[in-house]
Homo-oligomer: A and B are copies of this chain.
Amino acid sequence: METTQISDIKIIKSPTSKIDSVDFETLTFGKQFTDHMLVCDFIDGEWHQPIIMPYAPFEMDPSSRVFHYGQAIFEGMKAYRDAQDEIWLFRPDQNYERFNKSAIRLAMPEVPEHIFMDGLKELIKIDANWIKKGNGNALYIRPFMIGTSDGVIASPSLNFKFCIILSPVKSYYSGEVKVVIADHFSRAANGGIGAAKAAGNYAAQFYPTKLANQKGFQQVIWTDDTTHTKLEESGTMNVFFRINDTLITAPVSERILDGVTRKSLLAIAERDGIKTEVRSITVNEIVDAHRNGSLKEIFGAGTAAVVSLIAGFQYKDEYFELPQVADRFATQLKEKLNAIQYNEAEDTFNWTVKL
């Protein structure tokens, strides 16, 4: 293996590449990884040298904190290749900031910017040939951190591993999904960790989602756990409602993730004259709006799919089919956001960062 050093990142290049064995036309989201990963250990109160090295398994003691106490956080972001073969990141500063907010809430050390950002950029440069041209093609970037100290005692880990892995992805379209509005299960508590991208939040959703799947629904719209009346997130995405020509989404809170796609869609909508409201929205309000014909669209917003169209929602014993509207906000906003991400439209917001 070839070993070099760029600033303070140690680089160990893989002697071979898997890329020729990958069919880029039939990628499953998040299943295929590039040749390299970045790893950086936090030990005895200090971050050690970040290393870019061949993608390989970790050796983990069976008593590692992450296995027992779930001390784990992550981020999800993408890199895009434009028609001129330039590579772009989208608002990486937002993911970096949120990562460290999650770290604080989970009693983990913040990752210094040079490790996160320089590490990320250097890693992507090394595996840049995994990013294909063409709308929908992207490199999904997964920074994450886990508690690695040994010992089955319920106290924070002292040692941690920060890692970035990369997965080439195609455009992610799940079709229009039917959702069920949660009236019993919840994803987040008041004063809990719902606003953090904490691993434990996701496992908690799997069982209620499985129950929804068994009844023919693809996702759950999560409500506040106290009254189950406030509409908060959809699956692992933020959620938007269009009533007449106003786009409504709940404010971020302790229970609701501050999604980068969410705030980017809001900004584009506002720039382009769509009326937006960031406020609490209730089940009764959308049921009433459905009955009087003013509920036009519901969609999820997140990094993986950008938007996820919702065909209808079940609430208690009733199913509410949404109308098929022409010129959907969801589709317009997705196209505009994608155009910025792929450097096909002017980035009036200064969101994109050239690699």
Give residues in A with beta carbon < 8 Å to B.
Answer: 28-31, 33, 37, 55-63, 66-72, 74, 76, 104-107, 140, 142, 144, 146-147, 150-156, 163, 165, 167, 182, 184-193, 198-208, 210, 225-226, 228, 235-236
**A69 contacts across to B, CB distance below 8 A:** 199, 202-203, 206
Contact assessment for B210 and A68 in the assembled complex, using a CB-CB cutoff below 8 Å: no
Contacting A225 at CB < 8 Å: which of B142, B191, B202? B191
30 A–B contacts, CB within 8 A, in A order = A28-B151, A30-B151, A33-B63, A57-B59, A57-B60, A58-B59, A59-B60, A62-B163, A63-B142, A68-B72, A68-B142, A68-B144, A69-B203, A70-B72, A70-B204, A71-B202, A104-B207, A107-B206, A140-B152, A182-B191, A187-B189, A189-B192, A190-B225, A191-B208, A193-B200, A193-B204, A198-B204, A199-B200, A200-B201, A226-B226
**A235 contacts across to B, CB distance below 8 A:** 154
**A56 contacts across to B, CB distance below 8 A:** 62
Given contacts A30-B151, A71-B202, 13 further A-B contacts (CB under 8 A): A28-B151, A30-B153, A33-B63, A56-B62, A62-B163, A67-B144, A67-B199, A68-B74, A70-B202, A106-B206, A190-B225, A191-B208, A200-B200
Contacting A186 at CB < 8 Å: which of B31, B152, B155, B192? B192
* CB closest residue in chain B, given A146: B67
Contact assessment for B68 and A190 in the assembled complex, using a CB-CB cutoff below 8 Å: no
Closest chain B CB from A1 CB (angstroms): 18
Contact assessment for A203 and B200 in the assembled complex, using a CB-CB cutoff below 8 Å: yes
Taking chain A's interface residues, is the majority helix, strand, or loop, or is none over half, making it mixed? loop
Q: How far is the CA of A191 from the CA of B208 in the complex (A)?
A: 9
Q: How far is the CA of A182 from the CA of B59 in the complex (A)?
A: 37
Q: How far is the CA of A33 from the CA of B76 in the complex (A)?
A: 36
Contact assessment for A63 and B30 in the assembled complex, using a CB-CB cutoff below 8 Å: yes
Q: How far is the CA of A31 from the CA of B157 in the complex (A)?
A: 12
**A104 contacts across to B, CB distance below 8 A:** 207
Q: How far is the CA of A187 from the CA of B191 in the complex (A)?
A: 8
* CB closest residue in chain B, given A172: B153
Contacting A106 at CB < 8 Å: which of B60, B167, B207? B207
Closest chain B CB from A266 CB (angstroms): 23
Closest chain B CB from A29 CB (angstroms): 5
Closest chain B CB from A4 CB (angstroms): 22
Given A191-B182, A225-B190, is A153 in contact with B29 using a C-beta cutoff of 8 Å? yes
Residue from the set A58, A69, A144, A185 with the largest chain B CB neighbour count within 10 Å: A69
Given A189-B225, A200-B200, A226-B190, is A37 in contact with B62 using a C-beta cutoff of 8 Å? yes
